[in-house]
């Protein structure tokens, strides 16, 4: 079957969808696109379901060779993408002709680009999802969760919908120098942190650490002090802001463990998680409190954009 052939795999290109749900009680992680908003817009550009399977390209280094023509969509990070050496700006729908190459170099803005295919990529769901989780050997092209590898063939079965262009200001990343503010629904053990720590949590320019991946993102800044008792492990929601003994928060993302025993300030909203997933190490971010109800309203508005 003809499709896009992986000529150069790069460090981390993964097939992702909206994630694996209904099996977390078995210890299976959620997975799915870390910047689910960008995947949603890429799919919207082709008339797909918002979380139809696509490729999440982290950092770049991927080259795809087209054996057959296709209409594709690209959103998310600017990884210096080119179509036969012509620059391709993220936030677009484009056609690739047979014999052309789509290449990603290195991050200029953001970390993760999303590539959508007509009707979504072909892959067999495992436990209800094609989301690739390398650690658990679930999902992806072969069902074993592995990263895209040289020689892999990406195929699709659907057709692209009518031409669409993104509404202004969506599907791309905020510009340089724009303050990154991440909404946090306070809760969990927040009352057991010192008053100073809660103040500092929301009034500090936190720095994204080098230790950042699909499991979690570590922030560095003032040391936060938990004053409660030792905890018994409990279920962890997406975006949970956990504070281990060193006082430096870790925000848990899609591939987090299902249960854990560190105290938490609450959880970032899923929208804030998608924004965080695009922050390069060294970026400064601010946490801002939001009520669960208000966060829900904003989230539902996002979903409504995709119809």
Partner 1 sequence: MSDPSIETVGMDSLIVRLFDNIDEENMPWMLAADRALREAFGEALIDLVPSYTTLLVHYDIQRLDLQAARARVSEALKGLTPVTSGEGQRHVIPVWYDVSVGPELERIAERLGGSQEDVIARHCARDYSVFALGFAPGYAFMGRLDDALATPRLKTPRQKVAAGSVAIAERQTAVYPTLSPGGWNIVGRTAVALFGRDREGYSLFRPGDKVRFEAISREAFIEQGGDPTPLAERGDTPTEAQA
Among 97, 98, 205, 303, binds partner 1 (CB under 8 A): 303
Nearer to partner 1, 79 or 265 (CB): 265
Among 14, 42, 236, 250, binds partner 1 (CB under 8 A): 236
Closest CA to 277 of 238, 247, 234: 238
Sketch the per residue contact string, 104 through 143, with partner 1: x for CB under 8 A, - otherwise: ----------------------xx-------xxxx----x
Nearer to partner 1, 165 or 233 (CB): 233
In terms of C-beta density within 10 A (0-12 exposed, 13-18 middle, 19 or more buried), how is residue 151 classed? exposed
Q: Does 257 bind partner 1 (CB under 8 A)?
A: yes
CA 118, CA 124: separation in Å to the nearest integer?
Answer: 16
Q: Does 21 bind partner 1 (CB under 8 A)?
A: yes
Using alpha carbons only, how large is the chain's radius of gyration in Å? 19
Closest CA to 70 of 165, 13, 155: 155
The Cβ-side half-sphere exposure at 242, using a 13 Å CA radius, reads 23
Sketch the per residue contact string, 259 through 278, with partner 1: x for CB under 8 A, - otherwise: xx---x-xx-xx--------
Nearer to partner 1, 70 or 190 (CB): 190
Residues in region 191-220 near partner 1 by CB under 8 A: none
Q: Does 295 bind partner 1 (CB under 8 A)?
A: yes
Backbone angles phi and psi of 104, in degrees to 5: -120, 130
Nearer to partner 1, 93 or 264 (CB): 264
User: What secondary structure letter does DSSP report for 137?
Assistant: T
Check if the beta carbon of residue 142 is closer than 8 Å to that of residue 126: no
User: What secondary structure letter does DSSP report for 67?
Assistant: S
* Contacting positions for partner 1 (CB under 8 A): 21-28, 30, 126-127, 135-138, 143, 185, 187-188, 232-240, 257-260, 264, 266-267, 269-270, 292-293, 295-296, 299-300, 303
């Amino acid at each position: 079957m003809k499709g896009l052939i992986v000529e150069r795999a790069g460090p981390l290109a993964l097939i992702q969808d909206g994630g694996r749900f209904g099996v977390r009680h078995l210890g299976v992680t959620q997975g799915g696109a870390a910047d689910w908003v960008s995947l949603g817009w890429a799919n919207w550009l082709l008339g797909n379901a918002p979380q139809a399977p696509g490729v999440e390209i982290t950092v770049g280094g991927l080259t795809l060779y087209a054996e057959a023509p296709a209409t594709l969509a690209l959103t998310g990070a600017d990884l210096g993408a080119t179509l036969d050496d012509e620059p391709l700006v993220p936030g677009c729908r484009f056609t690739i002709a047979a014999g052309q190459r789509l290449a990603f170099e290195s991050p200029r803005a953001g970390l993760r680009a999303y590539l959508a295919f007509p009707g979504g990529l072909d892959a067999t769901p495992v436990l209800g999802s094609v989301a690739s989780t390398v650690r658990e050997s679930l999902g992806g092209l072969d069902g074993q969760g592995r990263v895209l590898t040289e020689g892999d063939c990406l195929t699709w079965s659907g057709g692209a919908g009518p031409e669409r262009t993104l509404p202004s200001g969506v599907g791309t990343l905020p510009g340089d120098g724009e303050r990154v503010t991440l909404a946090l629904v306070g809760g969990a053990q927040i009352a057991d942190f010192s008053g100073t720590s809660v103040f500092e949590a929301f009034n500090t320019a936190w720095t994204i650490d080098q230790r950042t991946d699909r499991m979690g993102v570590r922030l560095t800044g003032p040391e936060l002090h938990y004053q409660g008792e030792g905890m018994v492990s409990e279920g962890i929601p997406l975006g949970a802001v956990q504070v281990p003994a060193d006082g430096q928060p870790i925000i848990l993302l899609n591939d987090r463990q299902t249960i854990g025993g560190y105290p938490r300030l609450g959880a970032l909203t899923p929208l804030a998680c998608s924004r965080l997933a695009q922050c390069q190490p060294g970026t400064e971010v601010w946490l801002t409190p939001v009520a669960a109800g208000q966060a829900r309203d904003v989230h539902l508005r996002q979903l409504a954009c995709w119809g």
